[in-house]
Every structure is written in structure tokens, then in C-alpha cells.
Structure 1
Amino acid sequence: MAPPSRAGSPRARIALLAVLLLAAGCSATFQPRGPAMRAPDLTAERIVTPDGVALPMRAWLPEPDGPPLRAVVLALHGFNDYSNAFEGTGSFFAARGIATYAYDQRGFGAHERPGIWPTADTLIADLHTAASLVRRRHPGLPLYLLGESMGGAVILSALAGPPPPGTEPLEPAGTILSAPAVWDRDSLTALQRAALWISYRTVPWLRLTAPRELKIRPSDNIEMLRGLSRDPLVIKGTRVDAVEGLVRLMSRAAAAVPELPAPALVLYGLNEQVIPRAPIEKALAALPRHVDSAVYEEGYHMLMRDLQGETVLRDMVSWIGNPSAPLPSGADRRPFTRMAGSGTAGSGTAGSGAARTEMAGP
């Protein structure tokens, strides 16, 4: 048997060099916002940011012979999803005089580098840019922010801090957060934290998909989930460094919950299986008194796309019209007292077959 290598021996130096090379090849990859190089712009199909990045955009506007335009909504999608998530919502709103704009957030959908995490600060800066452009497109109309899951985390984080350099304050007329992602690092188990810590520092490039055995259902709308599973713009496998970025964003959003300005409406479903119960209860308990919350007995994570999604949308339209009035469904008078299941780390793509739509939950 060969004797142990000494620190200065050729074998030891080779081993040390191999470790250093391995470490150098395991750095995380992000796509943060670059320096401003042009004025931002809003076209029919995209938002162009100050650093020259084009974010694909969709808009749903009332028909010329339809109801008069009375409000504008800027919507942010969830993790691994994209702007098409608001197809049904935008059409529903447009028929009731509300315009909706939604864009593929940097790193998602038809963006040129899908799957590469953009950093929370970049997502927040893009939101400020988009809100300013949409507000200029519709001067004089109230602008509402709508965030689903990760989109809700971006909005929470943005509202809690000062506007990024070169941007304007958000100051929305109101905010609606549908199952906002507030699953912070402290809410992960010790095993989950350790697994993420190790994998982020060794294999940040590794793409993960959730085991079928988890069988987590983000919605009871199976046909919709099957459509997402076939959609090439929905990310099916998530890089470890993107999961780490998401956890950082969710932790930031969870800390921002007590600072959520009114008027605001926060929605969750009793059948939520993507975000665990503990962080949801923690978030609801931390909401300021002047912020409204609604709990849907039949609701899952994708509330607006669930089979009872129209009930949720009707509540949203009613709230936009009069935030102080009770919701038509009565969901604002229902406590968050039980759940059908709870998520686990890395469970967002989870579920069987068609439900494999999101990674790490939100």
C-alpha cells in the first residue's frame, strides 16, 4: 500500500489542483441587470428594459365596443411559468373593463436565457420599469399589481424597499397577491437547508425535477396541468442555483409581509400543496391589520386557474372596484384553519404526470 501523501508531494499538489479546478467549475450562473444603455420602451409584444433586454409581453384589453376601461393590472407569473399564466385572467378582466399586462420575467418563458436565475434585485428593477411604462400607456387610470406565487414574492419585496436607481416608485392603486411565495429559509427543515447548501456549492448547474412519488397537486384543473406539461415555455427542470435564488427571494418576501401597504388583498386556498402550512400561517399572522385576506375552501395553489377560478376572479374584480366591500364569495370571512396537504422542498414540479410544472414550489 502506498504511504500517505505529504502536503508538498507531487501527488498532494495534483490532488489540491484537482479540487481547485473542480471548485472553479462549480460556480453559480446568474443573469443580473446590466448597466443602463437606453430608454425603456413598451411595444405591442415586449418590454425593453434600460439594459437593452427584451421581455416578451402579453396584453388583454377591452374590446372597442365593450365596457369602458376603468383600471389597469400588471401581472407577474410564478416560478418556471410565464405570462401565458394570465390568459384566462386577462380575458375575464378585459370583459369587465380592466386591462391586463403580463410579461415573461427575466429567465422565464420566451426570454432568451430561460432557466438562468436573474437575481431578486433584477426582477424588482424589471417590475419598476414595467409599471412605469404601463402607467404611461394609461395615464389617469389606477394601476394594480397582481402577483401569483413567485410573482407575489417579487411584488412584496419591491414594495418594501426603495425604488432601484433610475426607476420610479411603484405606488400602485392596490395589490393582489395570489398564493404569494413566502417559504423562507427558516421554514425549511435542517435536512432541506443542508441539501441546498451542499448542492449549491458543488453542482449549481444540476437540473432537478421532483419525484413522481410526491404527488403534489398545484391545481384541481387537470386539463390545464396537462397543457402546462406539454408547453415548451414552461420550465420542467430547475437548476440548483435557481432554487437557491428563489429561496433568497422568498425569504426577502417573507420579511416584507408586515410592510405590505394598503389596499392589498392576499389569497390562499385550503388545499394548498405547494407552499407548506407553517410559512403561510406565519405570513397571514404578520399581515398588517389594514390588509385584506381571503381563503378559498376549494382552492389550490393556482387559484386563478383552478376549477373554481372564476369565483376567485369575480372576487378580484369586485375588490378592484371597491376594496372596502365584502367579497362576493365570502372568502374574506373564512379563516385559514386546515389544509389538505403541504409541500416539501423541491416539490413544485411535483405531482404525477401532468402536474410537473414548477420546481421548488412557487
Structure 2
Amino acid sequence: MKRLFASLILLVLLAACTSQWQEIGPPVDTPHFTDKAFHTADGADLPLRIWLPWDKPLEASIIGLHGFNDYNRAFDAPGKGLARRGFALYAFDQRGFGGAPQRGLWSSTDQMIDDLATAARLAKAAHPDKPVYLLGESMGAAVMLAAVTRHADMPVDGIILAAPAIWGWQTQSSLNRAVMDFAMAVMPRVAVQPNGVYREASNNHYMLRQMWRDPKIIKATRVDTAFGLVELMTEAFDAGAKLTGNPRWLIMFGDREDILTSDSVASFIGSLPKLPPEQGRLALYPQSHHMMLRDLQARVLYDDIAAWIRDPAANLPSGADKAP
């Protein structure tokens, strides 16, 4: 009996030492949007929110992808702001986040990219005579970077990346890598909540307090999920140098970035190809933080995004693209 008990304990310990990823089923259905969900080919319903212009003609459709441990509510302010400017915005909870199935478990970079490509096709089908753009925040922007270098066939006219998560292995210290490798080897399923470390993600403190109280925001992150994020950021960093200008891109960073390291941002910016402004444009905002789309002065970014979509060759209204 003691030997059996010891064997069971050993099996439990071994199970705890193995990573756990999302289980994605085979295609069983036709993907489509409903009023409240992005129904995927494998039958998963990813919660969806839609903002439509109500007092002016539709100019373009935009797919919004939220950041790490966040969900589609991240686009509440940007969705309203861009709808007022004539754009439709579709934002869904990525797998493992918000109200999506298998909460807390990482799916894969491949699956996140496939979901985005499908959503882009559905947005184009909803408004076939209008252009489609992608708008990503942090992790969502990293997914978009990886996606456009893999899927040249996506019906996308442009990508807008707000503080893309590009802190990949290329810019991580050897100590960070060693700690992550050790954690993955001994406790990949353990969820960790950072304590004692303060970072100012935004100057919108009311929004930050709402996020802290929001039960859909993941507060403690599994080790294997964090590892998956770094793998995604690694591919996103490499994708920057591969951007061709088709689709055209607008990449935005804030000078008050306090989540990504300054070295990783500088290295990524230095890797971007030098293209004509109408194909690729970098904008630097002196007062913006990591969650720049929700900062108190975010309307400046909404104006820039709208102006860039309408005329990618013109200077941005804010002048942020003139920054050195």
C-alpha cells in the first residue's frame, strides 16, 4: 500500500513538471461572427465586441487584438473613439484570455495567428468594399507582426501596432533565460503573481484600478504561458526586419514606456527597414505609456490612426512621426 501511495505521489509530481498547452480540436464548423462571439472552425466561441460608426459612413474595418492577460474590453475607449471617426472595430478575446475557453492556458503562436487571419477574412466579408486594418496592443501587436510575415494572403491593407511586445530572447539577459528554463523544467504549471514591482503602464489610473478589480483580467500567470509569450515576442522581434510595406504599417511607441525595456525597443526600432512613409511609418509619442491607446491623451493617437488610414503619405496630425 505504501509503495502504491508513493507511486501515486510520484505521478502527481511528474505531471506538475510537464507543460500544459491548450487542446485545439479539428475543424468542425464554418467560422463566422455573431453579435457577441467569433465562432472558430474548431467550434470555440471567442467573446467579441463590435463598435460601428453611427453618424457617418463607414470608411474601413479594423480588427483589434488585446495585450497579455487582458481581453476585448481593452478596446472600449479605442473602439468608441475610432467609431466616432468613421471606422468599425472588431475585438475578440484571444484563446486563454478573458471569457475565451481554457482560460490561463497558452494556445500557440500558430493558433493565435490563424485566428487573426480568419478574423481578417470575416471582417472583409462583412464589408467587402471597405479596406481592413489590424490594430494591436502589446501582445496583440506581436501576433500581428508574426502574422503579416507568415500570411501574405491576408486581406489586410495595413497594420497599426501600439507598443508591440518585442522583448524576445534576443534582448533578454542570460539570467532571465536561465531562470525561465529552470522554472519550465521544475514548475511549468505554477501560476506566479508579481509582487513588489511597480511599473506605470498608463497615466490613466482610473482605468488601471478598473483592470485590477476586473475578474476577467488574469492576475497570476502560469510559467508555461509566460514562456509561450516570450516565444511569441521572439518571433515578433525578428518579424520587424522583414516588414516589406505590403501591407503598410504604422508602429507607435511612447517615450514613457515602462513595461518593455528601453534596450529591446531601441534594438527593434533599429531593425525596421527604411521605407517610404506611405509604406512604413514610426511614430514616437513623448507623453505616452505602454497602454497608449488608453492613456488620458489617447485621442491624439485616434486622430493619427484615422489620418494615416485616410492618407498614409501625409504627416500625422500630432507630428509624432517627425520625432527622431
Say whether residues 1:223 and 2:206 are aligned partners: yes
Q: Post-superposition shift, 1:41? A: 1.4
Specify whether residues 15 and 255 from structure 1 end up closer, same or farther in structure 2 by C-alpha distance, changes over 3 A only: farther
Q: d(CA) in 2 for partners of 1:59 and 1:28?
A: 35
Give yes or no for contact 1:32–1:119 (8 Å, CA) kept in 2.
Answer: no
Which of residues 238, 242, 247 is equivalent to 1:255?
238
Q: d(CA) in 2 for partners of 1:134 and 1:279?
A: 33
1:80 matched residue in structure 2: 69
Q: d(CA) in 2 for partners of 1:145 and 1:265?
A: 10
Q: d(CA) in 1 for partners of 2:98 and 2:184?
A: 23
Alignment of 1:1-362 (within 5 A): 22-63=13-54, 66-162=55-151, 169-212=153-196, 214-262=197-245, 263-290=248-275, 291-335=280-324
Q: d(CA) in 2 for partners of 1:288 and 1:24?
A: 45
Q: Post-superposition shift, 1:134? A: 1.2
Q: d(CA) in 2 for partners of 1:183 and 1:219?
A: 19
Unaligned runs of 5+ in 1: 1-10, 164-168, 336-362
Specify whether residues 240 and 314 from structure 1 end up closer, same or farther in structure 2 by C-alpha distance, changes over 3 A only: same
Q: d(CA) in 2 for partners of 1:16 and 1:254?
A: 44
Higher mean C-alpha deviation, range 302-311 or range 242-251: 302-311
Structure 1, residues 17-66: CA drift from partner, whole Å, max 9, x if none? Answer: 97676334321111153211111111111111111111100000011xx1
- Name the amino acid aligned to 1:250: M
Give yes or no for contact 2:124–2:132 (8 Å, CA) kept in 1.
Answer: yes
Unaligned runs of 5+ in 2: none
Specify whether residues 257 and 297 from structure 1 end up closer, same or farther in structure 2 by C-alpha distance, changes over 3 A only: same
Specify whether residues 32 and 148 from structure 1 end up closer, same or farther in structure 2 by C-alpha distance, changes over 3 A only: farther
Q: Post-superposition shift, 1:128? A: 1.1
Give yes or no for contact 2:202–2:208 (8 Å, CA) kept in 1.
Answer: yes
Specify whether residues 209 and 24 from structure 1 end up closer, same or farther in structure 2 by C-alpha distance, changes over 3 A only: closer
Structure 1, residues 68-121: CA drift from partner, whole Å, max 9, x if none? Answer: 111111010000001110111111111111110000001101112211111111
Q: Post-superposition shift, 1:131? A: 0.9
- Name the amino acid aligned to 1:29: Q
- Name the amino acid aligned to 2:125: R
Q: d(CA) in 1 for partners of 2:128 and 2:15?
A: 50
Q: Post-superposition shift, 1:327? A: 0.6
Q: d(CA) in 2 for partners of 1:178 and 1:42?
A: 25
TM-score scaled to structure 1, two decimals? 0.84
TM-score scaled to structure 2, two decimals? 0.93
Q: d(CA) in 1 for partners of 2:9 and 2:59?
A: 63
Higher mean C-alpha deviation, range 121-130 or range 23-32: 23-32
Q: Post-superposition shift, 1:171? A: 3.6
Q: d(CA) in 2 for partners of 1:154 and 1:55?
A: 16
Give yes or no for contact 2:141–2:164 (8 Å, CA) kept in 1.
Answer: yes
Give yes or no for contact 2:16–2:187 (8 Å, CA) kept in 1.
Answer: no
- Name the amino acid aligned to 2:80: S
User: Which secondary structure state, in structure 2, belongs to the residue aligned with residue 259 of structure 1?
Assistant: coil
Aligned-pair Cα RMSD in Å: 1.8
- Name the amino acid aligned to 2:156: P
Instruction: Tell me which stretches of 4 or more aligned residues in structure 1 moved more than 2 Å.
Output: 14-25
